[in-house]
Amino acid sequence: MLADPRLWLMIGFGFASGLPLLLSGFTLRYWLSEGNVSLKLIGLTAEIGLAYSLKFLWAPVFDNGAPGFLRRLGRRRGWLMAVQPLLTLSCLLMVLGNPTAPALLIVFAAILAFCSASQDTIIDAWRIETFPQARQGTALAGYVWGYRAAMLVSGSGAIALVGHIGWHGVFAVMAALTLIGPVVTLLAREPVPDATVAHMLAGHTSFAQRFARSVIEPLQEFIRRRGAIVILLFIVLFRLGEALAGTMLVPFYRHLGFDRVQVAVANGPISLAAVLIGALLGGWLVARIGTGRALLITGCFQTLCMFMYVLLSYSAGSHHMLTATAVVESFAEGLADAAFLTYLSSLCSLAHTATQYALLSSIAALASRTVGGLSGFMVPTLGWHGFYVMTALATLPSIAVMVYLLKYYPPERRALDGRVS
């Protein structure tokens, strides 16, 4: 498996994708929390991530030819090399921010999220077009490995560094690390487009035809499928509980009396190892028992693990319980992600990978970018114990829809040549 150089590139792309995510999320909220910003405003920072949910609106641009000055790199690599320098620049803008003026800092974070979401869209398309369906589980496991390693760096690593170089120094270091993305892009090979896509890219179609193909056709093709509404409902609900729980983690940790070092250690290497093992096992399960059954098993397991937050809410100051919660949650998340992302990939037509995958992954993140923003208003009403009981119970509707979905609209399996069987 590791002998395939494309897998190593997938790990590198995963790192490039994962690094910016926490910088506009968990790490930003930690900075704001230390600046005594209100719970309501911290909760509303979840809306910054709407770029990840709305990226399907501009994803069709990436299904067309690359920018002229980068055309020789190909469609996927060309667009990556156009977006990645902007991502580095947006990360540098964060150095100019400060919690004393949270509005400006949040604007900079929103720009960073937009560039990051654009990069994710192109990388997802590169993965789907590069790896056959039978290898998507393995490719996603590699992606998650790189993604989670980057999250360790921009999450626990960044928090641990604050005591040495300050928040502004941390964001400068993170900006330098984003340069890994262009290096991986230059090492990667451009996927070979199918005949229809090649005809379009050759310029034999008008703008109206390209727009119809890039925007209208992908959406129509998906909506016309059997069970499309049920599939979309499941995708929206799958991460609802996790979205609510995750948005309030920073003030939750601080409420329980955990300091910066304790949070960094609990979410550090041990949690990274747990999520990598979970992703590897999830990829193995997909290959062993199929996407549908793997999705059901991992989804149910993740639901049970959500109750770890409830136990933690009764364990103020217990570093061991903090670590146990972080490790178990990381393992469950890695396990479920491998099956869930493989399922999303299986839903995409090879002719419209960027648009359709962007749409599906955007919908998957919709709960965390909308309902998650209300968590700061829920905590004062429910209390920390009640809030985390509610987040655990919020996962149950997705399980019910999943059972119905797998019974009546099971995922299709795409053969090595790209045909669906």
Residue-wise pLDDT for 221-250, tens only, equals 778 888 888 888 888 888 888 888 888 888
Q: Which two tokens stand for residue 71?
A: 């055309």
Q: Give the mean pLDDT per block of 10 residues along the chain (421 residues).
A: 77 94 91 86 85 79 77 86 94 90 90 94 87 76 85 91 93 95 92 60 58 70 82 86 84 88 87 86 87 88 90 88 92 88 80 71 73 81 90 89 85 46 37
Helix ranges (DSSP H) in 319-374: 319-346, 353-364, 366-369
Helix axes of 102-130 and 353-364: crossing angle, nearest 10 degrees: 130
Reading the block at residue 360, the tokens are: 């599906």
Q: Which amino acid is at 389?
A: V
DSSP, res 420: B
Burial of 370 (0-12, 13-18, 19+ CB in 10 A): middle
Residue with tokens 């103020």: 316
Model pTM above 0.85: no
In this prediction, residue 223 carries a pLDDT of 81
* Of 241, 368, 220, 251, residue with least CA distance to 299: 241
DSSP 409: S
pLDDT value at position 201? 54
Q: Mapping DSSP to helix (H, G, I), strand (E, B) and coil, where does residue 414 land?
A: strand
Q: What pLDDT score was predicted for residue 157? A: 92
